[in-house]
Amino acid sequence: MSHERKVSRSPFVVLEDDTVDAQPPAIVMTDPKFVVNVASMIRNCAAFGVEWLFITGDRLDIPTGRKGDRMPRQERMREYRTVKVVQCDYPTMLFKRQDIAPIGVELVPGAVPLPMLEHPLNAVYLLGPEDGGLSKGFRAICHQIVQIPSLHCLNVAQAGGIILYDRMASLWRQGKGEILELDEDRGYDGNPRRRELVRK
């Protein structure tokens, strides 16, 4: 595999040089198949304050942001510029100043049910592709493997959103984090009646 790194240019963030010095927490999407799931994961990361999203494999290219080569419109909000998207083969090597705790998200025997996980502050969450699971190599570096209890399999972007929500709740329960509050202008004060008036 090549060590070449590709960094997203827009509409989410511009990294001006090729030196990536990542800090946890982070999400790693291993060999994703559909760009719409990458777009949804960017939204997840922005919503829950996660700065880094890594993508491995070469089945898709990160859109450049130029006309005709963009993420879906609903995933191109300015607020998402907080997320740095990096495409590389060995993402865990890019955390140079801090130890990390890689956590795999996988439906395998013996995986820890997500509600039982005490999320570490330095977690990096690894998710498999839409049509498969984490590779043996990625599973081998994970400190823990967790699964999301559900009746049916989840879309990879859905799984990422659930993981990040559970992280917020877990860190709050541990006294290591806070419950997030909406940080954008929705055009109303949160009152349902006010929302109806604005629509009219």
Q: Which amino acid is at 10?
A: S
Among residues 1, 14, 137, 95, the alpha carbon closest in space to that of 57 is found at 1
Ramachandran sector of residue 96 (left: φ over 0; alpha: ψ -120 to 50; beta: rest): alpha
For residue 37, what is the domain's CATH number?
A: 3.40.1280.10
Arithmetic mean of pLDDT over the chain: 82
Average pLDDT over residues 92-106: 92
Note down the domain range covering 146: 6-199
Residue 39 has pLDDT above 50, yes or no: yes
> Residue 195 has what pLDDT?
46
Residues 6+ apart with CB under 8 A from 140: none
As for how many domains the chain has, the answer is 1
- Determine, yes or no, domain membership for 175: yes
Tell me if 90 sits within 8 A of 124, measured CB to CB.
no
32 within a domain of the structure (yes/no)? yes
Query: Model pTM greater than 0.85?
Result: no
Please compute the mean of the pLDDT values over residues 25-30 and round it to a whole number.
97
Residue 1 lies in a domain: no
Has residue 99 been placed in a domain?
A: yes
Please state, in angstroms and rounded to a whole number, the distance separating the CA atoms of residues 101 and 79. 27
Which amino acid type is present at position 101? A
**136 in a domain, yes or no?**
yes
